[in-house]
Amino acid sequence: MSKVGKQSVAESTQAVSGVLVGRFDHALDPKKRFTIPREWRATMGEPDYVYVMPDHKEGCLNLVPRAEMEARLAKLREKALFDPALNRALQVIGGNSEQLMLDVQGRIRVSDKLLQFANLTTTVAMVGSVRMIKLWDPKALGDAATVDQVALGEALEIAGF
């Protein structure tokens, strides 16, 4: 049986073995698209699509790889189908999220609603967050050319590195 272009949840989750690290600043093109870097697309297993949702604590967007989302969905499927509180929560998440197809050049077009939420008007700072990518207005971040050792130390401690 051929699975051209299709992967099961287990296969797509296993396909992602790398981590998403680094920072890439990319200008929005006239159609308000930006390109996910080739390195990250390879790390994510060359997905056909990704998920984008607003961060609930910071003024940025979260770009969640397909495999990461499918792993979370597998856990949700173990819960009761008709749990009212869970269904309301999932409706809020779903109503504020997007499933975005990548074009052949690896570009995506985030909705105006979400671009406005994160104040993404001309340039997107894409920051690798190991399991996902944070999409920021570059003005909201510090200087990309310096290392904040205090913040790095705190982050390493919290993550248990």
Residues in contact with 90: Cβ distance below 8 Å, sequence separation at least 6, in sequence order: 76
More confident residue, 2 or 80: 80
Predicted TM-score (pTM) of the model is 0.82
User: What are the tens digits of pLDDT across the range 63-93?
Assistant: 999 999 998 888 888 877 888 888 899 899 9
User: What are the tens digits of pLDDT across the range 13-41?
Assistant: 344 457 999 999 999 999 999 999 999 99
Query: Residues in the chain, how many?
Result: 161
Q: State which amino acid sits at residue 149.
A: Q
Residues in contact with 109: Cβ distance below 8 Å, sequence separation at least 6, in sequence order: 31, 32, 33, 100
For domain 20-141, the CATH class is alpha beta
Two structure tokens written together for 97: 């999220």
Domains of the chain by residue range: 20-141
Beta bridge partners of 124: 26
DSSP reduced 3-state for 27: strand
DSSP reduced 3-state for 30: coil
